[in-house]
Structures are given as C-alpha cells and as structure tokens.
Chain A
C-alpha cells in the first residue's frame, strides 16, 4: 500500500482530532484579527476567538456562503497582505460573480501535498507518467494535479484540455500511465480512442483521477472500459483550494477528506444544525491550514454522507460519499430530504429513460410524491399485470433510496413537458396552497 504522507494519512483518530483542535483555535484567531468581514459576523453572534477552544466549539461559528464570497469580492475575505500571496485561482463564475481565491507559497505547497496524496492513493509513484488534461490557468484542476504530480515525482505531461487526438498521441508515444481530467473529458477521450480505431490495449493507462463535475457509477464503468484503467474520484472547490480536499483510494468506497487541512461537517440545510456522521446533509468545510484565503464553515451546497468506519486501505481520514445533489435542489417531502438526482440515479440503473417529472402535492395535510417516468418501447408488455408490476418494482427501488414511497406513473415516450428543450423536473404544487 502506498501513501504520500503515511504518518498523516494513517494517523490515529486522536492525533487527527488533536491537530484539528489546535489548528482551528489558531485559524479562528488569524481570521478574526485579519478579516473584518468575518469578525463582524462573529461579533453579531457575540463571539470572540476565546469562545473557540477546539472542534467542539466549531458549531458556534457563523457560516459563510457563496453569497458572502460575492459580497466580499475580491479582497474582503483575504487574510494576509497581497504581498504575501503568490497566486490566485478562480471559478468559471457561471452564476453571478466569479470566486477569486488567494494562495501564499505555503498554501500552494499544502494544496499540492493533497493532490500528491490523491495520485499516490491510486498507485502513482515516481515511475509513472502522469498526463494532466484538466484545464490550466485560472481553473484549479490543471495547476493542482500538475503540482501534485511533480511532488510524487511522476513524469508530468502538462497537456491541459482539448486537442484530443494530440492527447492520445502523447499518451501513446510517452506511455502515460495516469490520466487526470474531468470525467466528461475522459469519456470523450475514450470515444475518440475508439474512433481512431484504437483499443484500450494500445494504451498504457492504469489509473484515472477524474473530478470537478458530478458523474455516475455508470460513467465510471464506461470510462474504465473505454480507456482500460481504474477510474477514481477527486473532490475540491476553488473556495477551499481546489482538487484534493478529498480523494478516492483503490477501495473506491468514498473519498478520504484531508482532515489535517479541512474539518468537514454535515448540516441540515434547512436549520443549519450539525448532523451526526452517517446522516445525509450539506457538506460544510473549515480550512484550518490555509493562510491567505481561510474560509471558516463554508457551505458547499453539496449533499453527502460522512463515513468514519475504517477503510481497508489503512487511511484513517473520514470518507465522504460522492455528492448526491445540491442543497438548492432539495425537496422536503413528509419530513424527508429528497434530491431529484437520487431518483435519476435509480432510473438510469434500472434502464429507464432519464426523462422524468416529480410532482409533489399535499392532500389532507399529507405530502404526496408522484413520479412520471417515460416508458421505453422494449419495456412495454401487453398485460396490465406486467406494467403494474414494473411500476411497483420501480416504486420499491426508489423507496429503498429515498425512504419514502413514491407513486410511479409510466407514461408514453416524449410526453413529459419540456420547456426550452430542458425538461421541467420538479413541480411542487404545495407552494400554490400555502
């Protein structure tokens, strides 16, 4: 088993907790003294750094949201003078203003360590040839994995994304063994390999590190097949540094969060209350080592579950599930949090079309959940019994995932209303009654 920093990655729970306590206390003090924006938020709650004595006090601190980042743009959350900063990275900023994050030299160093852990965890060593096909530039993907690859000592191919045939040519000529890019680009490279008349046997890839966008288990299997590698997930946000906040090990059972740098919490997105490990809720990160742009209790909007059970790889850091949805999309039905993406996953797994519509209503003070699903021609039967059995089986599969029983309605293909080409996924009629 390979680790980049074994003494950290396999440290005892007590040791991790001790690091977190100590670093959190220092970080809160650093932020309070240097970030007036956050100091105001703390003062509004009557808090001073003395109130935070360790992790157990973390829940007292105010949250930061994307909205705060917009308000404080560009320097409002910067905690060191710009003379101490060596780099910025930025989000694409498709909604509202872009996020600009600052790094000191040490921040870059620690971020690259996180990426190096991810590369080592999928079997990367100095013998490997690592092709980085994430975009380079403001986007964190390219620079993060590039730095991690250098730290591991891989021969690094800084390809950036695009020019796919050239990517594949380099991949073959230089015998690349590790590929880092977005999952959708990996899938595209896989298709191009096939179009060029090549097979996975013509490549030397053994592992891929794919992140920065949501992807399904089905995509994982397709990519693994088309490129002949094992596909691993990596997670991160520009707000928290970039990729490498958490990463998958060879077990492929969730992503280990680098807890010596980040404290993860799961909260109820409605109430903000912290939930116990194992419960599904919104992921909140506190950066405890970053100096330039140290966000405390940053709400990611990503919905996941934390798993503290021991991992067979030997790493002791908590694992997070792949994000199951965005808290913005969350519906509360009969008191249960429901994400459209959970329903979509079941539909795809069971061979249904991803065209569906969720109808939520309230009848006699009870929420109802109806799901219209388009029937595929090959799923049709001439007997009522078989179609009803299909509806019941699908309802049961969805109930297993959501915890509440939906009513499934199979409908004819192409009948679900689309507006401007995009299907309207959720109709919540309860809002009309309230």
Chain B
C-alpha cells in the first residue's frame, strides 16, 4: 500500500518556505508531515496531506513546480532498533531507499516513517511479511 507525497521544487531563497506555508494555511490545508531536502541552490519540499491531488493543484496554481510521488509509510513501534530493523529488511530484499523521514500523528502517540524506495510493491510485501503494515491514505486520515 502506498501513499501520495506532494513534492515541491523550491529555490534556496529566503522566504520561499514561508510563502508555501502561508499558501497552504490560507487554503486551510492541514499537513501531516513536512520534510525538506536542500542543497546550496535548491530545496525539495515533501508533504503528506489529506487529498494530495487537490493540494498539488493549489500549489501548482501558485506557480510552483509540484508533482505527486508514491511513497510508503510504516508505523514504527516504540522499541529500540526498530528503524534499523526496517532498513535491514528492505536492503536485504534488494530495495534501495532514496530518502526517509519521520512524523508523529496528531491523535495518537505513534511514530511513522515515510520511505521513498526503488520499488513500492516489493517494499510493502517485504515489510508485510515481517508483520509491519504499510499505511494507506485511509489508515492515516480516516479515524
């Protein structure tokens, strides 16, 4: 099961992130996760939000470059070494991890990890085989 992440191209200029944040706030968009990868030149803003297609449309209309990217999200147990365990499962199964970031859901005390991997289907199957469920939009947003 995969999720749609909203990926936005940002120039590494002061105020760009604030601009996008204001845009999202102004459109009443509630973010579940936000992560930024940046270099000296540019940044890539990665967002998880409800109804990603609509969010992406709002961002594009404001003139930004924006795409939807399939990622997987896993609920991580509060036990030492659990993240290392997930990474090991994926790498032993031949799945490459491009990047990963964590977020906490607002209404429970669980931690979630988002993974952008080379092969979502294989990754979900590998993790499922170890009893780790990858989340769908429904799992995250409909409570």
Q: Which residues of A come within 8 Å of B, CB atoms?
A: 375, 377, 380, 382-385, 387-388, 391, 409-415
Contact = CB atoms under 8 A, between A and B. Distances in A.
Contact of B11 (A384, A388, A415): A415
A387 B98 contact: no
B1 to A, nearest CB: 19
A433 B55 CA distance: 46
Contact of A413 (B39, B44, B63, B116): B63
Contacts of A391: 41
Interface string B59-83: 0000111110100000000000000
8 contacts: A380-B65, A380-B67, A382-B7, A384-B38, A384-B39, A384-B44, A387-B44, A412-B11
A409 B10 CA distance: 12
B11 A377 contact: no
Interface residues of B, number: 21
B63 A382 contact: no
Contacts of B69: 382
Interface string B4-41: 01010111000000000000000000000000011101
A413 B67 CA distance: 14
Given A377-B67, A411-B11, 19 more contacts: A375-B9, A375-B65, A377-B65, A380-B65, A380-B66, A380-B67, A382-B7, A382-B67, A382-B69, A382-B116, A384-B38, A384-B39, A384-B44, A409-B41, A410-B42, A412-B10, A412-B63, A413-B65, A414-B63
A34 B54 CA distance: 78
B98 A385 contact: yes
A359 to B, nearest CB: 13
Nearest to A388: B39
A314 B39 CA distance: 55
A411 B41 CA distance: 8
Interface of B: 5, 7, 9-11, 37-39, 41-42, 44, 46, 63-67, 69, 98-99, 116
6 closest pairs, A vs B, by CB?
A382-B7, A382-B69, A380-B65, A377-B65, A409-B41, A384-B37
Nearest to A382: B7
B5 A382 contact: yes
Contacts of A413: 63, 65
A374 to B, nearest CB: 10
Given A377-B65, A412-B63, A414-B63, A383 B9 contact: no
A383 B100 CA distance: 11
Contacts of B9: 375, 380, 387, 412
A380 B43 CA distance: 12
A115 to B, nearest CB: 49
